[in-house]
Amino acid sequence: MKLSELGPICREDHLIGVSLPVAASQKFHPNGASFVYLDSSGHVTLALTTTQYLFGWACPPRSLDGDDLDNGYWTSSSTAGADKLLVYPAVLNLGVIFRAPCATGLAVAARVGECADLVGVNDGTIQYVDLSANTQDVLLVVGIPEDGDTNSILVTFNPNEIQRDT
């Protein structure tokens, strides 16, 4: 899978994005998903495994050649709010399909219609869709990639698990 294939799979002019301040020291891996929530201060925060509601998908800097990100991932400033990222809020982009890596279980057609969780840790490792768990149910599986890649999956926001306020 190419880095350029991660994220929303529609024309950018069909997406509604907003620029939002980022929480301190957030680490986004270029080969991972970029699902986020807003912390109590309204700052973009990488969604973790235990995150119950998703705010949207962030667009951090991604290296296509792997050599221009410190430590292999992008890290926001140690000062909360100093950086901003383009975010596609779930409430404004319901139904948008995202291609994301999957952690456990192969991406197969039988998964379509199932809920899924995330595997996310703010340590620079890859954020994945977890096809074997359905504790948080933050995502809905809507398809498999046409290129046959069984290490990624097509998902959308679960409308019942969208963060609507901080």
Under DSSP, is residue 82 helix (H, G, I), strand (E, B) or coil? coil
pLDDT in tens, 97-110: 999 999 766 788 88
Residue 146 belongs to a domain: yes
∠ CA(68), CA(73), CA(78), 5° rounding? 105
Q: Are 28 and 60 in contact (CB under 8 A)?
A: yes
Altogether, the residues listed in the chain come to a count of: 166
Q: Are 159 and 94 in contact (CB under 8 A)?
A: yes
Residue 166 belongs to a domain: no
pTM (2 decimals)?
Answer: 0.91
Domain extent, residue 61, equals: 3-161
The total of structural domains in the chain comes to 1
Residue 74 belongs to a domain: yes
Task: Quote the CA–CA distance of 56 and 64 in Å, as a whole number.
Answer: 23
Q: What is the pLDDT along the chain (166 residues), one digit of tens a residue?
A: 454 578 898 766 789 999 999 999 999 998 889 999 999 999 999 999 999 999 999 999 876 454 456 678 899 999 999 999 999 999 999 989 999 999 766 788 889 999 999 999 999 999 999 998 789 999 999 999 988 888 899 999 999 999 988 8
80: amino acid identity, one letter: A
